[in-house]
Chains A and B, each alone.
Chain A
Amino acid sequence: KAGVTQTPRYLIKTRGQQVTLSCSPISGHRSVSWYQQTPGQGLQFLFEYFSETQRNKGNFPGRFSGRQFSNSRSEMNVSTLELGDSALYLCASSDPGDEETQYFGPGTRLLVL
């Protein structure tokens, strides 16, 4: 099976802009989780989608949002970008009932100038 894929791999934006990141899970996986990784805060959970519904949410402001499509592909959006949003954004997918075993994609490196 193909692994989790994320696009784009690298992105440069300026403050105030918005950005959309995409994630394609492993075939058959219905749960998709998003994480933000920064040197200062480490890996932090953003949100999780299952069957097109947000099932869990981390402690991030409303500027961070996401959605999931019927084919389980997911997107996350960040509006009104801030410098502090510069990070590696990781997407992970898992089998239903085995969410402790998540398969991560390579991530999208976002730089906000």
Chain B
Amino acid sequence: LAKTTQPISMDSYEGQEVNITCSHNNIATNDYITWYQQFPSQGPRFIIQGYKTKVTNEVASLFIPADRKSSTLSLPRVSLSDTAVYYCLVGDNTGNTGKLIFGQGTTLQVKP
């Protein structure tokens, strides 16, 4: 499974747009990029998933360049409740593995 690298922590202020970049140089052809969000003492929550270009849902956008060696999770107009750990995962959606490899994640602190 491809290894991912993302910043350990980030600070932002309410109302700002936050972009968290994840590096995955060894991503394989069949790999998808998935982001999860985790609040303290809760299980991770699926945010968004993509394969290439741009994906947008009601929560976030995911930008993936053509070489797919990195991806950027974009959170528009964050609020205090967006303070959480964000994990970037890369894996094969067709592998029937049921195994997610979590890195350290990025701790996002949103300030008033």
Q: Say what secondary structure dominates the interface of chain A.
A: strand
Q: A88-B41, A106-B42 are in contact. Are A48 and B105 (CB under 8 A)?
A: no
Nearest B residue to A45, CB-CB: B99
Check A102 against B104 for contact (C-beta < 8 Å).
Answer: no
Q: Say what secondary structure dominates the interface of chain B.
A: loop
| Cα of A96 to Cα of B93 in the assembled complex, Å | 10
Chain A: minimal CB distance from B28 (Å): 13
A31: Cβ under 8 A from any B Cβ: yes
Q: A100-B34, A101-B49, A109-B41 are in contact. Are A42 and B97 (CB under 8 A)?
A: no
Check A103 against B41 for contact (C-beta < 8 Å).
Answer: no
Chain A: minimal CB distance from B52 (Å): 15
Check B100 against A33 for contact (C-beta < 8 Å).
Answer: yes
| Cα of A66 to Cα of B103 in the assembled complex, Å | 24
B112: Cβ under 8 A from any A Cβ: no
Instruction: State the 5 A-B residue pairs at the shortest beta-carbon distance, nearest first.
Output: A104-B43, A48-B98, A43-B102, A99-B98, A56-B99
- Which residue numbers of B lie inside 8 Å of A, CB to CB? 32, 34, 41-46, 49, 87, 89, 91-105
